[in-house]
Structure 1
Amino acid sequence: MSAAPCGGNTARSLKIHIVHAHPLGTTGANPASEIHLYRHRLRVTDLDHLGHVGNVRLLDYFQEAQVAMLDPRRDRVFQTKGPTYLIAKHNVSYVRRLTFRDNPVEVETVVGRVGTCDILVNSRLRDEKVVYARCRTIWVACTLPEGSTRRLDEEERERLTRFSGTIDEIPTAH
């Protein structure tokens, strides 16, 4: 299974999906036509003994946001039988410590590539000014309980293609 993003996209205008227009747009060569935006309110229980949101919790935020994009009605991801998705690989870069705040953080997610039976998903966890973490995940379409891979159907491809592209980098504060 290859995780290389495919090229050939032309530059498109930015449309934020789900929540609201974002003050920091995208200017890259292959910007996403839609970015899936997932807001997450921090909980005190997410903090470690140093007062930072723990790395495992950050990974949970990414997974919640990606599930919301992959399966908005939750009719596939949480099944124990039939078509679903499984995570094959996560690659997380923890950029900056995230501390508690009242305002929610946002997870922006785009699809880097839609394969025959797998999806490369790129996400970043941020607030208005700073990126705290980035995540690249490979999801595999499969059938349970066997766990055998399956081809993505046309409905899935159409939904995921809306989010194809890249997310520009937001400068990280040090």
Structure 2
Amino acid sequence: MTEPGDQRAFTCSVEVRWGDSDRLGHVNNAKVVEYMQEARIKFFRDHLPSRTAVAVRKMEAEFLRPIKDSSAPLRIEVSVLHVGTTSFTIRHTIADRHGSVCAFGDAVLVGFDPANDTARRLSDKEREVLDNYRALTPG
């Protein structure tokens, strides 16, 4: 795992919502993956061309410590681990309000052509943006 500060990352804040916790007061693991998606969407919205279409091919997550209501606001860093011809890999790192890393997850995303339901090559603009957020050290 890349240490915080050891990468160029997009950072955003996400709140823990009232219905995200289970009976033990821990955020459900599926909700943690939703937080990662929310951060990824904010990154895309802020930095990629507005008509960029991508699809998730693969997602892996590691849950290191419980996230609770009191953990918020969460800080989520999004960085790029790899850029290929049609796909790229993004790392999401979730830290609690004290800076302790609670979870991280990697997603492989594919440039997508919705008209044909097929993969497409990443554009030069997409590659430029992704390269700007590429991790400085291997993930």
Query: What band does the TM-score fall into relative to the shorter chain?
Result: 0.7 to 0.9
**Aligned partner of 2:10 among 36, 49, 68:** 36
Question: In 2, Cα distance between the equivalents of 1:111 and 1:104?
Answer: 23
Which structure has the larger Rg over C-alpha atoms?
1
Shift of 1:158: 0.9
**What is the aligned partner in structure 2 of residue 21 from structure 1?**
none
Residue identity in the other structure for 1:43: R
TM-score normalised to structure 2 length: 0.86
Shift of 1:66: 1.3
**What is the aligned partner in structure 1 of residue 28 from structure 2?**
54
Query: What RMSD in Å do the two structures reach over aligned CA positions?
Result: 2.3
Shift of 1:74: 7.8
Structure 1 stretches lacking a partner, 5+ long: 1-23, 77-82, 170-174
**What is the aligned partner in structure 1 of residue 77 from structure 2?**
108
Greater relative contact order (CA < 8 Å, ≥ 6 in sequence): 2
The alignment covers a number of residue pairs equal to 135
Shift of 1:25: 5.6
SS at 1:69's partner residue? helix
**1:38-61 CA-partner distances (Å, limit 9, x unpaired):** 100111111112211110110000
Change (3 A) 1:25 1:55: closer
Change (3 A) 1:163 1:117: same
Change (3 A) 1:130 1:102: closer
Structure 2 stretches lacking a partner, 5+ long: none
Aligned residue runs from structure 1 range 88-127, under 5 A:
88-101=57-70, 103-127=72-96
